[in-house]
Structure 1
Amino acid sequence: MYVDKTRQIALNEIVKDVFGNDARIIKIKRLGGIGNENYKVDVLTKRGTITLSLKIFLGSLHEARRKATKEEYFIRRLSEVGLNVPNILYYDPEGRRLGRPILIKRWISGIPVNKALEKDYDNKDVIVDVYARELATLHRVVPKPSDFMVIKEIRTPAEYIVRQFKIIEILSKIVKFDMSKVINALRKDMPCSGDITFLHGDYAPENVLVNTSYDTIYFIDLESIELGVNEDDVAYAFHMLRFIESINKRLKGVAEDFIESYEKHYGKTLKNLEYFKVLSAAKLYVVLKYLMKTGRLIRERKTWLLIYPFLYMFFFRRVMKYLKEYITNINFTM
């Protein structure tokens, strides 16, 4: 799917509904994304140019509606508790206007955390600290009954972990990579305690924005939110920062600094973090292999691949090697 002429006409009508009859689209730019389509849209209004974020939800219609409903709900939910999220301007979960569920938000002019780290080494400690602080803030939000209408309720760490095992097992069969040894080891050492919190689900540095003064984080993609053990979210972010370290030696140590900052802001020591580092690495490994097998990872970056094919494959192979080593050299410190 893409914004063709027919959909541009429909989108222009939506813009008029939101900003008035004189408003019109002057530019649409396709952005990245694997599971959905994302666009940056410039709109000319009486008050000047306004930039919007358009997300078109893909997948089966049922899946797309579920993702749209979930993201819209949690943007409003996290706004209620003071977290920084985009303002919703238009929401069509049924896809009546563009043929697919869509969400239009006001554009946030921030810097992806990974870009901020790469450009401003001198302030990397400050950037990592605010990145960790906001994740800890999310993890302290207390779930309420209405949340369970859009996400599955998880009552115990074991329930959450077993659910992750099922995901890993399903994907490992599809990509034909034996994860039985890893899962058996994880089952044997499964922690019996842990905090059940909201999880961002995809707290990679490129998925959150920081402002230019490095004191505010913006959550821009919330469709992956679920309930689970907070240490899994932390472990995922840790691995993502390690990937950045692997290609930029000046950022060496930011992953460990992130853990230290998170524990400071969350107010607790992460006793089972080593366990969740392995669990997260195992899931990430089979997810990436699945995306490569199905071609989704390449399709979403096909333009970039044409320019930097060897660099891309070099980076991807390094990531996969790192993850594989992590899950094949299991050594929990519980």
Structure 2
Amino acid sequence: MSDQDPPGLDLARLRAHLDRERPGLVTGPLTAEVVQGGRSNLTYVVSDGTGRWVVRRPPLGHVLPTAHDMGREHRVISALGPTPVPVPRTLLLCQDPDVLGAPFYVMEFVEGTPYRGKEELERLGAERTRAIADSLIDTLVDLHAVNPAEAGLADFGRPEGFLERQLRRWKKQLDASRSRDLPGIDELHERLAGRLPASPEPTIVHGDYRLDNVLVGTDDEIKAVLDWEMSTLGDPLTDIALMVAYAERSTLDLSFVSNVSAAPGYPGTDEVVARYAERSGRDVSGLSWYVGFAFFKLAVILEGIYYRFSHGQTVGEGFDRIGSGVAPLVAHGNAALKED
């Protein structure tokens, strides 16, 4: 690996592999930059001076390949290519760790903006902000309308018992990172466990659907949905509820999370849910359970980050403030369940 290579990406080995598997694709020396954002997998934009492509691989030093399954991500994006859901075109999957040190895949580069803060939307104005938010909702409706079997994804997950498994998984995660008293979180879990809803017909779910996980074009339409590492077959209401929770948590003054929903023109929670319900035809009358679960999940994620930071396992700007964000999320989760 040369001094010009970003961590985890040997450009000479990548070039040799692309020349072998996709001859003629690359026509000049490769350069690369790491893309910030995303949950954990590493993303690079690679260019030969003429064309641009995106490479995705697991994080450096990963030990659980099932948590960073490149084949799974590549499969869902490839399967959604012919559907109305906008995704990048996949070009290559490499499962051989000898090439880059881990499996990876290559997809086309899509022009677009991942809006991460309300200031970015404020510059566009309320009308365009509303159009972007509407497109975000409509794209989720399109995803949930895809027939998994027709897309070749009938075995992409185990929808039976999906909510029960999800709740058990996140409780296990909480127990693994519990190092302090978290008022209300056990009550929230108990109430969720005691009121598990019956899921509707399963769909492909994204698992982390929000504005900064999509690329928006200059026409304010969604050009590509990204970060499919949490996707599976399951309950579609978990996706729309997470969107609601992300929007509501931006009012909690947590400086380290996206606050796009606070921008003028961004529709309120009721409007978001109403548009999704009208366009999808789904019954959302029991959505408060899902919103409560979304807040529980977000609280567990933040507590895990706080735990790693407090034990010296994570460094970086802003991590010292994450611990204070957990209690408000727990309170919002309990409040959501009281709305029933």
2:256 is matched with none
Question: Normalising by the residue count of structure 1, what TM-score does the alignment of the two structures yield?
Answer: 0.82
Conserved in 2, the CA contact under 8 Å of 1:15 and 1:25? no
Distance 1:330 1:106, change over 3 A: closer
Question: Normalising by the residue count of structure 2, what TM-score does the alignment of the two structures yield?
Answer: 0.81
Determine if the alignment matches structure 1 residue 10 to structure 2 residue 23: no
Determine if the alignment matches structure 1 residue 205 to structure 2 residue 235: no
Q: Percent identity?
A: 19
List per-residue Cα deviations over 1:183-205 (Å, max 9, x = no partner): 22123222235342211001021
Distance 1:5 1:331, change over 3 A: closer
The structure with more strand, counted as a fraction of residues? 1
Conserved in 2, the CA contact under 8 Å of 1:205 and 1:240? no
C-alpha displacement of 1:319: 4.4
Determine if the alignment matches structure 1 residue 280 to structure 2 residue 294: yes
Of 2, 21, 45, 1:40 maps to: 45
Conserved in 2, the CA contact under 8 Å of 1:241 and 1:254? no
C-alpha displacement of 1:243: 3.6
C-alpha displacement of 1:32: 3.0
Distance 1:81 1:162, change over 3 A: same
1:259 is matched with 273
1:140 is matched with 145
C-alpha displacement of 1:134: 0.5
Match of 1:54, SS state, is strand
Determine if the alignment matches structure 1 residue 119 to structure 2 residue 133: no
Match of 1:131, SS state, is helix
C-alpha displacement of 1:277: 0.3
Conserved in 1, the CA contact under 8 Å of 2:6 and 2:32? no
Q: Would you say how many aligned residue pairs link Structure 1 and Structure 2?
A: 316
The structure with more helix, counted as a fraction of residues? 1
List per-residue Cα deviations over 1:12-33 (Å, max 9, x = no partner): 3234443357421134335333
Paired with 1:169 and 1:71, the residues of 2 have a C-alpha distance of 25
Determine if the alignment matches structure 1 residue 50 to structure 2 residue 46: no
Match of 1:186, SS state, is helix
2:198 is matched with 192
Paired with 1:290 and 1:281, the residues of 2 have a C-alpha distance of 14
Determine if the alignment matches structure 1 residue 223 to structure 2 residue 229: yes
- More moved, 114-123 vs 257-266: 114-123
Match of 2:73, SS state, is helix
Determine if the alignment matches structure 1 residue 233 to structure 2 residue 239: yes
1:128 alignment partner AA: A
List per-residue Cα deviations over 1:105-127 (Å, max 9, x = no partner): 11111111445634323212111
Match of 1:103, SS state, is strand
Match of 2:212, SS state, is helix
1:293 alignment partner AA: Y
- More moved, 215-224 vs 67-76: 215-224
Determine if the alignment matches structure 1 residue 103 to structure 2 residue 105: yes
Conserved in 2, the CA contact under 8 Å of 1:143 and 1:197? yes
Distance 1:250 1:134, change over 3 A: closer
1:323 is matched with 329
Of 147, 150, 159, 1:154 maps to: 159
Match of 2:47, SS state, is strand
Conserved in 2, the CA contact under 8 Å of 1:152 and 1:226? yes
Conserved in 2, the CA contact under 8 Å of 1:28 and 1:42? no
Paired with 2:272 and 2:45, the residues of 1 have a C-alpha distance of 30
Paired with 2:263 and 2:274, the residues of 1 have a C-alpha distance of 19
Match of 1:69, SS state, is helix
C-alpha displacement of 1:267: 2.2
Distance 1:138 1:317, change over 3 A: same
Paired with 2:222 and 2:43, the residues of 1 have a C-alpha distance of 23
Conserved in 1, the CA contact under 8 Å of 2:146 and 2:203? yes
Paired with 1:184 and 1:6, the residues of 2 have a C-alpha distance of 45
Match of 2:337, SS state, is coil
Paired with 1:290 and 1:320, the residues of 2 have a C-alpha distance of 10
Paired with 2:113 and 2:8, the residues of 1 have a C-alpha distance of 31
C-alpha displacement of 1:239: 1.6
Conserved in 2, the CA contact under 8 Å of 1:15 and 1:23? no
Match of 1:258, SS state, is helix
Match of 2:97, SS state, is coil
Distance 1:38 1:299, change over 3 A: farther
- More moved, 207-216 vs 140-149: 140-149
Conserved in 2, the CA contact under 8 Å of 1:231 and 1:272? no
